[in-house]
Amino acid sequence: MFVDTFGNSENMHVQFKIVDNIPPTPPSTTEPNGVTKTRALSVNPTTGEIVKYNAVIEINKSNMGVSSISLAKTILHESIHAYLTVKQYGCNQGTPLEGYDDVELSELLNIYFSTACPAQSDHEFMFDSLLPIMSEILADIKDDLIPLSHQQSAEEDYTFIDENNPTGTEVPWDWSQFYKYLSMAGLQNSNAFKNNIENTPSKFENYNSYKDIGILGFSNECND
């Protein structure tokens, strides 16, 4: 999934590591599911582009008990952190980002990383620009990670608030909503999430419902 999404490079390496615990990063007080750490970063002084980048993506061991699709989302989320580190130094490095050319992406990143809190700039950018891409990736791997019987149960057993008519009849399971809201897990401290989701009760309740089902309601085994 990582290589298919972000491409391959001889001078950029990412290692995945299972760890027993990951200290929370303020303002959150909850131990995160994963974290991305830069181990080595060398930049060409003339061009400003990366000539060597080594990162470690740590996955919280306690996350091993959640569903496979939730674990994949965590890996995807942390991979994007590594990807954006590369793109900040040279938008022509690494695989292109679908929907953006290098100039557009460079302009966007300059806006986010010069105005947002450094600890949250990645999350603001993910929320505003990458949720459709993250959703598409989750849709592509759904059948590999969620047994058909679990998919059918979700479609038959759960209903949600109609966000266009919150006081009306509830609506059935929607996979596009599921991908979108599961992708938001980990972005809840961003201003974009607070303004667009947390401050709208119907969206916030649907987010929590889809997220909880996605994390705990599906199999933690991969399909053959």
pLDDT at 31: 81
pLDDT given for residue 205 in this prediction = 98
pLDDT for the residue numbered 81: 86
Q: Are 215 and 74 in contact (CB under 8 A)?
A: no
Residues 154 and 217: beta-carbon distance below 8 Å: yes
What angle is formed at CA 218 by the lines to CA 97 and CA 156, rounded to 5 degrees? 105
- Distance from C-alpha of 50 to C-alpha of 96, rounded to nearest angstrom: 16
Confidence (pLDDT) at 102 = 61
- List the Cα angle 63/69/73 in 5-degree steps: 70
pLDDT value of residue 116 = 42
pTM above 0.75, yes or no: yes
Q: Which parts of the chain register pLDDT below 70?
A: 1-11, 27, 90-120, 222-224
pLDDT at 105: 64
pLDDT on residue 25: 76
Q: Give how far the C-alpha of residue 112 lies from the chain's centroid of Cα atoms, to the nearest Å.
A: 17
Q: What are the sequence ranges of the domains in the chain?
A: 1-8+65-224
- Distances in Å between the Cα of 23 and the Cα atoms of 60, 117, 120 are 10, 20, 17
Token pair recorded at residue 9:
């490079």
